[in-house]
Amino acid sequence: MSEIKYSIIKTFGPSIFKVQMPKELVTELNNYVDKIIEDKEKISNLNHGENLVGDVTQEFRMEIEFMKKSGWSDFLLKSTDRWIHLEQNKRISKFSIISSWIVRQFENEYNPTHWHGGHISGAGFLKVPKSLGVHTQNKVGPDYSGGKLQLIHGSRMFMSQSVFNITPEVGDFYLFPNYLMHAVFPFKNSNEERRSISFNAKIDENIYDVYGNN
């Protein structure tokens, strides 16, 4: 597997860890998803729709065996460990994936503001439409939010916008604390799929619990 590129983003409150998924891993994940959606019985068994907070075409859990075989679990472990080591100069000894899932989003679909369980969460992009649409009022610039992932913390104050908007790019993956609120905006003027991958995991309680309750 090729060397992983990463950067820490800290525009407000908790830091965000941006990491580049290796191209071969992105390809393997997409091939896996394409096979799953063709298998009606399997896609029914893996359906994650009952936990859905938004309105998207399809959401399904990834199989544990595939996550291990493909190197996805290892990628998440190493990325989480690198982030925590850089931020807190600590090494995790426990990493338990609660779940990892795929979200297939199409035109006008969305995910409202929500947060995850566990300790560590993340979201990244496997497919992105060539165009996510344009602003209704023909505004040019960063105002158009179509298809973007928005991370939210606190409220807007001087020198703190409280939101961080992410334009999806294939291969980009973002890790953040489970409590960080986030949402996905709908996009338009495209019949292509916006395909994302997410996860929740638990780490050492004594690292996560900064208040020393454990």
Least confident window among 9-23, 28-42, 159-173? 9-23
* Residue 10 main-chain phi, psi, to 5 deg: -135, 80
Residue 138 is predicted with a pLDDT of: 72
Residue 179 has pLDDT above 80, yes or no: yes
d(CA 43, CA 37): 6
Give residue-wise pLDDT tens across range 121-169.
Answer: 999 999 999 988 788 777 666 678 889 999 999 888 887 778 899 999 9
Arithmetic mean of pLDDT over the chain: 89
Residue 45 has pLDDT above 80, yes or no: yes
What is the pTM assigned to this prediction? 0.89
Residue 205 is predicted with a pLDDT of: 95
Fold of 6-205: Jelly Rolls (2.60.120)
Over the chain, what HEC string results?
CCCCCEEEECCCCCCEEEEECCHHHHHHHHHHHHHHCCCHHHHHHCECHHHCCCECCEEEECCHHHHHHHCHHHHHHHHHHHHHHHHHCCCCCCEEEEEEEEEEECCCCEEEEECCCCCEEEEEEEECCCCCCCCCCCCCCCCCCCCCEEEECCCCECCECCEEEECCCCCEEEEEECCCEEEECCCCCCCCCEEEEEEEEEECHHHHCCCCCC
Q: Which residue has the higher pLDDT, 21 or 154?
A: 21
Give residue-wise pLDDT tens across range 73-127.
Answer: 999 999 999 999 999 999 999 999 999 999 999 999 999 989 999 999 999 999 9
Residue 173 has pLDDT above 70, yes or no: yes
Which tokens hold the place of 35? 């096979």
Residue 189 pLDDT level (bands cut at 50, 70, 90):
confident
